[in-house]
Amino acid sequence: MKSELFRLLKNIIAIGTIIIVGYYAYNYFFKEASNELTIDKSPMHIESIKAIAEIATISYKDEVVMDSIEFYRSEKSVYDPREWIRIYDRNIKRRITLIVKGEVKYGINLNDENYSIRSNTDTIWLYLPTPGILDVLVSPSRTEIFQESGIWTDTERKKIELLAKQKLKRNAKKLNLGKKAKVNVIRFFKSIIDDRKVVIITFNHD
Amino acid sequence: MKSILIHLVIVFLIMSCSQEKEIRNVDIYEIKNIGDLSTTEYTVGKIIKLNDEANEWYEYGERKILISCKAKIKAGVNLSLLEEGDIVVSGKKIVIHLPTAAITSFEMNPNDIHTEMESISGFRDKFTQTEKNLFLKQGEVAIRKDLRQTGIIKDANDNAGSFIKEFYRNLGFEEIIVIPKNVENEK
């Protein structure tokens, strides 16, 4: 009776081991198959339509890497076999690395209140707002999740993506593109205005 | 003690074969002079649906997800495509050959992306961020495709024409003729 119970236990352990090994083998070999998942068809709805007048004169394209790592807080013990995986993982609990490609656009956003034109027979006076950043463009197709280990929530990922946007903006500001955008705005308007007249452009018109 | 040593040897053997993904050191950027006049802004929404049923014998359970997202799209004309002869002035009359409108910018702000529902049953894994990004990429492709059915380009052409007419009227022109010029400037 005792030997039968022992045999039963041995069988259960053997089957359990096979299931666990099989599960990990499946995860190792077949997990990439999830890349083939395709979304269902669903309609797109228009939420708003707006008439605008934005003149973009500088486009700055950049790529930033955002790496977020969380380590185990406690020290690992080499004597505890359960913690050996931590040695393999360099004590990293979870990690996510995003490569975000984005575009920063500089220019002016015109409306009835911030721009005006005056002219006489030989001179044109153009009052414009100061050029600045119009858009920091990011989208999923330009975002690559380079590596992901552990569980990451949507909120955490969103936070990393927003930090990436800020980084893109900072990089653009470092290059002093505001000044360049101003020069281009002047060039832009002079190219579409009758060159027989003198054009005087004044910025910071509010 | 002997078993601990054997375990240690196995762990170190695995570690010695491990290949850590190297993060690319990125230092590439591009600055371009442009001349886009964006005249229309559309905000569109979409619910991304995915039903991942068990397809294989070893899979048990199913996964479902609904993600809502918004995209802000601007369209307008690329005025840097204006060539010599596209603006003809004669007295108080001006004729402008205006390039046709195209999409000038497309943005899906991370703040406007929300997982509305996620359901996992059986022994299935939770959706990872990598998978969610893949669904969002497909959603973006679908939005870009559906955009062609909207009137965004027509609106952008009309608004660009109105802006140009108003602009030249303020400059003192009395007759302003805007003629669309067909050019390939899709972004």
Write the pLDDT tens digit of every residue in A148-184.
999 999 999 999 999 999 999 999 999 999 999 999 9
Residue B184 has pLDDT above 90, yes or no: no
- Within-domain flag for B22: no
A10-19, A28-37, A113-122, B153-162: lowest mean pLDDT where?
A: A28-37
Separation CA B136–CA A97 (nearest Å): 17
- Contact (Cβ atoms closer than 8 angstroms) between residue B42 and residue B152: yes
A2-11, A144-153, B168-177: lowest mean pLDDT where?
A: A2-11
Q: Do A88 and B11 touch (CB under 8 A)?
A: yes
Chain B residues touching A29 at Cβ < 8 A: none
pLDDT of residue B6: 60
Chain B residues touching A25 at Cβ < 8 A: none
pLDDT of residue B18: 47
Tokens of B175: 């007759």
Average of per-residue pLDDT across B106-132: 94
Separation CA B151–CA B42 (nearest Å): 10
- Contact (Cβ atoms closer than 8 angstroms) between residue B37 and residue A53: yes
**What residue ranges in B79-167 does DSSP mark as E strands?**
87-90, 93-99, 102-107, 114-120
Place of tokens 């380009």: B153
- Within-domain flag for B98: yes
pLDDT of residue B17: 47
- Within-domain flag for B17: no
Q: Do A37 and B113 touch (CB under 8 A)?
A: no
Domain residue limits, chain A: 1-30, 53-202
Mean of the per-residue pLDDT values of chain A:
88
A2-6, A51-55, B123-127: lowest mean pLDDT where?
A: A2-6
State pLDDT tens for residues A60-116.
999 999 999 998 877 666 676 666 666 666 778 899 999 999 999 999 999 878 889
State pLDDT tens for residues B152-164.
999 999 999 999 9
State pLDDT tens for residues B4-40.
556 555 555 544 444 455 555 555 688 999 999 999 9
Q: Do A88 and B15 touch (CB under 8 A)?
A: yes
CB-count exposure of residue B66 (10 Å: 0-12, 13-18, 19+): middle
Mutation for testing the A interface, residue in B59, B92, B130, B165 having most A CBs under 10 Å: B130
Name the residue facing A59 among B32, B113, B140 (closest C-beta): B32
Average of per-residue pLDDT across B93-118: 95
- Within-domain flag for B21: no
Residues 75-134 of chain B with CB under 8 A from chain A are 76, 79, 82, 87, 89, 94, 104-111, 113-115, 126, 128-134
Place of tokens 């707006």: A50
- Within-domain flag for B1: no
- Within-domain flag for B12: no
CA-closest candidate to residue A187, choices B8, B186, B82: B82
Closest chain A C-alpha to B143 CA, distance in angstroms: 7
Separation CA A81–CA B4 (nearest Å): 8
Name the residue facing A148 among B46, B129, B167 (closest C-beta): B129
Q: Do B71 and A65 touch (CB under 8 A)?
A: no
* Residue A17 CB neighbours (<10 A): 10
Residue of higher predicted confidence among B7 and A120? A120
Q: Do B26 and A105 touch (CB under 8 A)?
A: no
Average of per-residue pLDDT across A141-153: 94
pLDDT of residue A56: 97
Structural domains of chain B, count: 1
Residue of higher predicted confidence among B142 and B16? B142
Tell me how far the alpha carbon of residue A117 is from its chain's centroid.
39
Angle, CA B33 vertex, CA B32 and CA B36 arms, to 5° = 110
Separation CA A198–CA A183 (nearest Å): 17
Q: Do B31 and A58 touch (CB under 8 A)?
A: yes
- Within-domain flag for B150: yes
Q: What residues make up the domain containing B98?
A: 36-181
Instruction: Report the relative pairing of strands A132-137 and A92-109 from DSSP bridges.
Output: antiparallel
Residue of higher predicted confidence among A8 and B76? B76
- Within-domain flag for B110: yes
A67 inside 8 A of chain B by CB: yes
CB-count exposure of residue B184 (10 Å: 0-12, 13-18, 19+): exposed
Average of per-residue pLDDT across B137-150: 95
Chain B residues touching A144 at Cβ < 8 A: 133
Q: Which residue of B has its CA nearest to A60?
A: B31
State pLDDT tens for residues B88-100.
988 889 999 999 9
Give the relative orientation of helices A154-174 and B129-147 as an angle to the nearest 10 degrees: 70
- Contact (Cβ atoms closer than 8 angstroms) between residue B137 and residue B46: no
A12 Cβ neighbours under 8 A, 6+ residues apart: none
Tokens of B29: 């950027």
- Contact (Cβ atoms closer than 8 angstroms) between residue A62 and residue A171: yes
Separation CA A102–CA A64 (nearest Å): 8
A24 inside 8 A of chain B by CB: no
Residue of higher predicted confidence among B184 and A197? A197
